[in-house]
Copies of this chain bind each other. A is one copy, B any other.
Amino acid sequence: MKKSYKNPEPGDHVEIISDGDIKNQGILLDSHDRGVLLLKLNNGYNIGLKKEDIKEIKVLEKKKKVEIKEDKKLSGKKPIIDFYLTGGTISSKLDPSTGGVKWLIDSKELFDIYPEIFEIADIRVKSPFMKASENMDGKDWVKLTKLIEKSLNDTQVKGIIVSHGTDFLHYTASALGFMIGKLNKPVVLTYSQRSSDRGSSDSRMNLACSAYTALSDIAEVVLVGHANSNDDYCYILQGNKARKMHTSRRDAFRPINSTPIAKVWPNGDLEMLRNKINKRNKEKVKVDGVFHDKIALIKFYPGQNPDILEYYRKKGYRGLIIEMSGLGHVLTQGKNNWIPKLKEVIKKGMLVYATSQTLYGRLDPYVYSPGRKLEELGVVFLGDMLSETAFTKLGWILAHKNWRGSVATKQKMLENINHEFNYRLSNEFLN
């Protein structure tokens, strides 16, 4: 079955012969560049080939008319993973007709691009919403939590995967951890930095790693993705102690003040790097999916006018996370002295929590007097907790009537609910 190179369709298994008799075999993909053919090689990598260099394209096998594994059509032989598609690069592909981005919204589309994970498990695809992560907020975290509860309490389901945009994935990961509480099986958040139809897409490996993590005994909300720039293995990271630290690298997510929980390879090998984790169990899960969104995050900068505190108070905000200096200081001299304004808003009921803008390390307000002064005023210092985690924790706590008083909120904020505090900080956390 020979055709000219104009006839092959995306999905076909082809051999492409380029100038110099260079042969490449693989699955033809949609390409957004009209001058380039995109090929997923048999080894899993994608390459782009200039049309002008192509001498011949042989269609080895037409696109499989796959039997889509819908909810009702599970093999019954493999463990079941509930797969929540929520948007982001991992759930998108370029639309060659418009040059824009299309979401992958059902199992068929997912299968077309990522057939491998359907070999590992019976995948039940669910799509509660499709959003770039910058458009998600507390309401989405609550919605997702409630859906995940069903999967957690469905004894048929072995584990859960959530595919998500990268930019604010660490917010969702920490929010889900607080809202879901003690887990009985893995909840795995994953991502990709390059869309599935790019040559260097990382999604294929991240999904395989995620599937094996979802089948593992690690009953925690975790973030799974490339451990380094090679395509060799992934890290399983604690969801509330990780952060996106690079705009484009495949290993953009880094543990902060924490170590990875485990390494996982795309062939299913898994090496634990920590002992104390919550194990798979048969308990029923009762989620606590609520969020109070009248809270704000402020990154302090030199010379900043403290009127911003009053602005948030007047707007009815209940709590602030302030990213202060490394030890936990803000401006405490001169005309923009924050002390009087902090005193005033705290007196009027604002809850003020401090994190560090260095990201790594732990606040230590006791070294110098300004820190001690802030604590006297009622600023609560959050040790080594990330600002992002502090934000989701505060929003979750304030949505509880019983915890809304300043004393109760403080007590809950300082409670190590989901290992968001690490009492044994190692210098090694920052390489």
Inside 8 A of A299's CB, which chain B residues have their CB? 297-299, 323
Beyond A363-B247, A364-B248, is A329–B430 a contact (Cβ under 8 Å)?
no
Interface residue count on the A side (C-beta < 8 Å):
66
Beyond A303-B137, A307-B315, is A249–B297 a contact (Cβ under 8 Å)?
no
B246 x A329 contact (CB < 8 A) = no
Interface mask (A311-349 → B, CB under 8 Å = 1, otherwise 0) = 100010000000111110111111010000000000000
- List residues of A (113-147) whose CB comes within 8 Å of B's CBs: 131-138
* Residue A402 interfacial (CB < 8 Å): no
Q: Which residue of B lies closest to A248 (CB)?
A: B361
Beyond A134-B329, A248-B326, A333-B131, is A168–B304 a contact (Cβ under 8 Å)?
no
A81 to chain B, nearest CB (A): 26
B301 x A297 contact (CB < 8 A) = yes
Q: Which residue of B lies closest to A384 (CB)?
A: B247
Q: Which residue of B lies closest to A356 (CB)?
A: B247
* Residue A263 interfacial (CB < 8 Å): no
* Residue A411 interfacial (CB < 8 Å): no
Interface core residue of A137, A297, A363, A388 (most chain B CB under 10 Å): A137
Bound Cα distance from A301 to B298, whole angstroms: 9
Q: Which residue of B lies closest to A138 (CB)?
A: B303
- Chain multiplicity (copies): 2
- List residues of A (269-309) whose CB comes within 8 Å of B's CBs: 293, 296-305, 307-308
* Residue A180 interfacial (CB < 8 Å): no
* Residue A35 interfacial (CB < 8 Å): no
Beyond A229-B427, A358-B246, is A168–B325 a contact (Cβ under 8 Å)?
yes
A249 x B430 contact (CB < 8 A) = yes
* Residue A63 interfacial (CB < 8 Å): no
A249 x B427 contact (CB < 8 A) = yes
Complex partner residue of A134 from B101, B298, B332, CB under 8 angstroms: B332
B134 x A330 contact (CB < 8 A) = yes
Complex partner residue of A361 from B136, B247, B303, B315, CB under 8 angstroms: B247
Complex partner residue of A304 from B166, B252, B296, B305, CB under 8 angstroms: B296
Bound Cα distance from A303 to B134, whole angstroms: 8
Bound Cα distance from A60 to B333, whole angstroms: 45
* Residue A408 interfacial (CB < 8 Å): no
Inside 8 A of A324's CB, which chain B residues have their CB? 134
Bound Cα distance from A293 to B302, whole angstroms: 10
Inside 8 A of A10's CB, which chain B residues have their CB? none
B360 x A326 contact (CB < 8 A) = no
Complex partner residue of A331 from B135, B166, B171, CB under 8 angstroms: B135
* Residue A20 interfacial (CB < 8 Å): no
Q: Which residue of B lies closest to A141 (CB)?
A: B302
Bound Cα distance from A88 to B298, whole angstroms: 24
Bound Cα distance from A236 to B308, whole angstroms: 36
Bound Cα distance from A131 to B296, whole angstroms: 29
Inside 8 A of A373's CB, which chain B residues have their CB? none
Bound Cα distance from A334 to B136, whole angstroms: 10
A334 to chain B, nearest CB (A): 7
A137 x B326 contact (CB < 8 A) = no
Q: Which residue of B lies closest to A359 (CB)?
A: B245
Q: Which residue of B lies closest to A298 (CB)?
A: B299
A384 to chain B, nearest CB (A): 8
Q: Please give the residue numbers on chain A whose beta carbons come within 8 Å of chain B beta carbons, in ascending order.
A: 100-101, 131-138, 166-168, 171, 229, 244-249, 252, 254, 293, 296-305, 307-308, 311, 315, 323-327, 329-334, 336, 356, 358-364, 368-370, 388, 391, 427, 430-431
